Amino acid sequence: MDVFASLLHGFAVALTAQNLMLALLGCALGTVIGALPGLGPSNGVAILIPLAFTLGLPATPALILLTSVYYGAMYGGRISSVLLNIPGDEPALMTTLDGYPMARNGQAGEALALSGFASFVGAFFATWGLVFLAPQLVKLALLFGPAEYFALFTLAFATLGGITSRNQSKSVIAAALGLGIAMIGVDHQTGVPRLTFGEIHLYDGINFLVAIVGLFAISEVFLFLEHKGEGEHGKAPALGRITAPLSMIRQTSGSMARGTVLGFVAGVLPGAGASLGSFIAYTVEKRLKDKHGTFGKGDPRGVAAPEAGNNAAAGGALVPMLALGVPGSGTTAVLLAMLMALNITPGPLLFAQQPDVVWGLIAALFIGNVMLLALNIPMVGIFVRVLQVPSKYLMPAVAMISFVGIYGVSGSTFDLLVMIIFGVLGYVLRKLDVPMVPVILGVLLGNNMETNLRRALTISDGDWSILWGSWLAILLWAMAIVGFIAPLVVGRFFRVTRQPALEEKAETADPD
Amino acid sequence: MSDRILGIACLALAGLYIAFATQIQIGFMSDPLGPKAFPIIIGAALGIAGLYPLLKPDPEPDWPARGRILEIVFAAGVMVAYTYALREAGFVVSTAIAAALLSWRLNASPLAAAIAGVAISVGIYAIFHLVLGLSLARGPWGF
């Protein structure tokens, strides 16, 4: 029962006036960010990290603010999916399939209310899952030595491309680029400068915040410039009443339950973020329940399942991120960046040494969830109005806020230039279908990964066999190999199911 | 073709990376692995992975027309100029101009873009500097 005691303590931490205000602010901001096309959980949070950092918020409040934004963005993504058939972010992709037809049938209000409720159910139960599962994983993680950690990092990279990855070699290229960037700077163990070319600014290495904001936010601006004038979305359909009838909720309760479980499992597994959660939830629901061919034509169950799945996966993805310090998806990679910027190292020690941070954060997730439900159902009309802000004014503002954030962190022209370079790099990588998430993860984890490798070899005095010297390490390596090969086999099957129209939309959607 | 270029670029980068990594000076005290090995492993992984798109390229991505590429280059140029202008002209003036230029290139009419630029700049200044107390670049006029 110590879980409940810890959780209660967490609520004591989170329930201060300041933290509640921050959670509210984060939820509102997050919903707006999620609703805006082109901005989603990962680039939205990415832009806000440097700002939260420079405002000098202490760790727990900053964490509460940013995770509220993360959850809020997960909620918000569905608004433009339902109303405009444009997913606000990639996990909301599946919601367009039945949400938009519902809106066209004059059920826009019902679809929004139902998806809001499904999001709440998914996120709420996933947070409970996090409460119980994360401490168990921590117990396992305490058995990890440097060799096991090195294997774990490799596992994270091997599976990051995800089950739907089209080209594993491009995932490897991305990971190598990220790791290579992380090596720049003074070596922590011997103090020699590496790959700095005598440039003093590089001695500290490249700040991961600069890389993330450049890759996620600035590249988005370039993408908008390329597509400008195309696909200017029409007017949102009339909302009608924004409640879901009780019968509809009862009809979809089974879909929500299945979506939640599937989404949570997909979120916990390495290499699968919220996109996979919503995808699996929708596909399974369709296989099970689509007896009259109503899916894709505005079936409420086709809205409830993926929304529950995507929000449950968002909660599930926090399990490995908090317990092991290894994120499984783009957005959790960004959250890891946030923790690192606040000088918090996630992993088993975090639970032992800083329970305030962990349990305060988890309590904040519960609070944020209730707030989001309360915010979303009655106030969705306001968020819909935000959607009407044309990107020609929105994108310059996004770019300028990114500059403000990075300028605030370092105040150096050099970092701003590096950010622009990362923006261009991100644009080119996105065009070439090279995933950006492994790049980010490489930049974030590179030094940690190397440290563990070198520590392991110091213990064994240079004998490489220590890397597979325990059953735990062998298990991790086996999982990494399976995870890397599986998409080559399974991916074929998944890609057939994923309609080409969706692939088209996925390019401009925010990567998860 | 694009993928083949990507592959060649990766191979070239990998070669350079390994070459630079082998030149890292090792101090008199080091752990068994030293600071060179991991960068070399990364370079090797990059090189091997680069072979695949070189030999078996994906279908060509739809690159934008030349005009649009120029737009992107122009936008990147505006951003670079902006980072230097910050120091000379201060936050409000340079941000207004940069935001207006970007907004103009995103199909806003010149007048609307100018208004948007000023609004974005003053808005950010008011929220982040005046309300939240973030330090922004100061120009000769103090804002």
DSSP-derived secondary structure for A174-191: HHHHHHHHHH-EE-TTT-
As a whole number of Å, the CA-based R_g of chain A is 22
Who contacts B4 (Cβ-Cβ below 8 Å, separation ≥6)?
Answer: B53, B54, B57
Contact yes or no for B31 and A170 at CB 8 A: no
**Shortest Cα distance, chain A CAs vs residue B142, angstroms:** 16
Task: Give how far B116 is from chain A: nearest CA, Å.
Answer: 7
- The model's pTM is 0.87
Helices (H), chain B: 2-22, 37-55, 66-89, 91-105, 110-124
Supply the DSSP symbol for B25. Answer: P
Question: Shortest CB distance from B32 goes to which of A229, A391, A461?
Answer: A461
Tokens coding A342: 């606040």
Helix (H) or strand (E) holding A193: strand A193-194
Instruction: Please give the angle made by the CA atoms of A494, B61 and A510, to the nearest 5 degrees.
Output: 60
pLDDT score for A486: 78
Structure-token match 């120029």, residue found:
B70
**Between chains, do A457 and B27 touch, taking CB under 8 Å as contact?**
no
pLDDT for position A1: 52
Residue A194 bridge partners (DSSP): A185
The structure tokens listed for A431 are 């065009």
Helix (H, G, I), strand (E, B) or coil at A329: coil
Radius of gyration of chain B (CA): 23
Contacts of A218 in chain B (CB under 8 A): 79
- The SS3 assignment for B94 reads helix
- Which residue of B lies nearest to A186 if distances are taken between CA atoms? B35
Q: Which of A169, A395, A457 sits opposite B102 (nearest CB)?
A: A395
Q: Inter-chain contact B135–A411, Cβ cutoff 8 Å?
A: yes
Dmax over Cα atoms in chain B, in whole Å? Answer: 65
- Tokens linked to B127: 């929220």
ipTM above 0.85? yes
Nearest to A433 among B38, B43, B61 (CB): B61
Contacts of A192 in chain B (CB under 8 A): 24-27, 35
Sequence-distant (6+) residues with CB within 8 A of A440 are A178, A208, A211, A212, A215, A216, A330, A333, A334, A337
Chain A residues touching residue B86 (CB < 8 angstroms): 407, 413, 416
Q: Measured between CB atoms, which of B33, B82, B132 is closest to A454? A: B33
The one-digit pLDDT tens for each residue of chain A (512 residues) are 578 888 888 888 888 888 888 889 889 888 888 877 767 778 788 888 888 877 778 888 888 888 888 888 888 878 877 887 777 666 777 888 888 888 888 888 888 888 888 989 999 999 999 999 988 888 888 889 999 999 999 988 888 766 556 688 888 999 999 999 999 988 877 878 888 887 888 888 888 889 999 998 899 889 888 887 665 555 566 666 667 777 888 888 888 999 899 989 888 876 666 677 788 888 888 888 877 778 888 888 888 898 898 888 888 888 888 888 888 777 788 888 888 888 888 888 888 888 888 888 888 889 888 888 888 777 777 777 777 778 788 889 889 988 988 888 878 889 999 999 999 999 999 888 888 888 988 999 898 899 999 999 999 888 888 888 889 999 999 988 888 887 777 666 555 455 544 554 554 444 55
* 8 Å CB contact between A161 and A168: yes
- Phi, psi at residue A186, to the nearest 5°? -75, 130
**Interchain proximity A167–B53, CB inside 8 Å:** yes
Q: What is the least distance, in Å, from the CA of B111 to any CA of chain A?
A: 13
Cβ contact, residue pair A403, B83, below 8 Å: yes
Q: Are the Cβ atoms of B71 and A55 closer than 8 angstroms? A: no
Q: Which two tokens stand for residue B115?
A: 């208004």
